[in-house]
Amino acid sequence: MSEERLQKILSTAGIASRRKAEQMIVDGRVSVNGTMVTELGSKADLEHDHIKVDGKLLRQPKHMTYIALNKPRDVVTTLSDPEGRTTVVEYLRGMKERVYPVGRLDYHSEGLLLLTNDGDFANRVTAARTHVEKYYVVKSNGPLTDEQMEEFRDGVPLQGRRTAPAKIKLIKTGASPWYEVRLIEGRQNQIRMMFRYFGCLVEKLRRVKIGFLALDQKPGEWRHLTPREVERFKKLLKMEGPPAAGDDA
């Protein structure tokens, strides 16, 4: 492996996003071969250099692992929780490799969640520029008008920045209708905030598909992606090099 920017190494290893990795470097939490590194743009080679984060040695994963989990409601999409709530990793009993969530599903939402130790894969799946659609079914406490749905598709201003173009269609009418929503970005609580923008509250939210991969497990169940699924994702994400081997469940 050739030298790479330190923040990219940390991001690819699943330690943090590149932006957070940069902050960790600036804060003096990263050392290379015993020397603290605080300058952004510094490079290292994970195969040959001893890189430590908060005093812990960073190692390359022996095997790239790709997991699909049906996250239940009232579970946090993190590796640990200071409030003591149930986390997604508590459902991965029997998993030998350390994996981390690809993006987020908020505490009250459920559905398809990917987990991996492949940082490049995770970054590409979550990046809006790769245009990987995430499909959701959403129950609202009231209907949107045709004009509101059109505005939803064009993007709405949230926290000073307009959302990327989205897709929405009504799939079940009623006082509390159901919608299918497709996004290519995934800001925290984005769908809930978009409905709130139009004066509606989301009662239920479930992610049912990421790209081509549809949810096919019961809540709390997980499985390895097949080698074919990993290969399809890497083609979709335009990742360089041969596809990494997946694990057959």
Which of 34, 37, 13, 43 is closest to 24 using CA atoms? 37
Strands 134-140 vs 202-210: parallel, antiparallel or unpaired: antiparallel
Q: Which candidate in 81, 106, 120, 247 is catalytic?
A: 106
Question: Does residue 38 contact residue 26 with C-beta atoms inside 8 Å?
Answer: yes
H-only helix segments in 27-102: none
Does 106 qualify as catalytic in the annotation?
yes
CA dist list (Å): 43 to 3, 59, 122, 151, 236: 6, 16, 21, 45, 29
H-type helices in 127-225, by residue range?
146-154, 190-197
Element (H, E) at 18: helix 18-26
Active site (catalytic) residues: 106
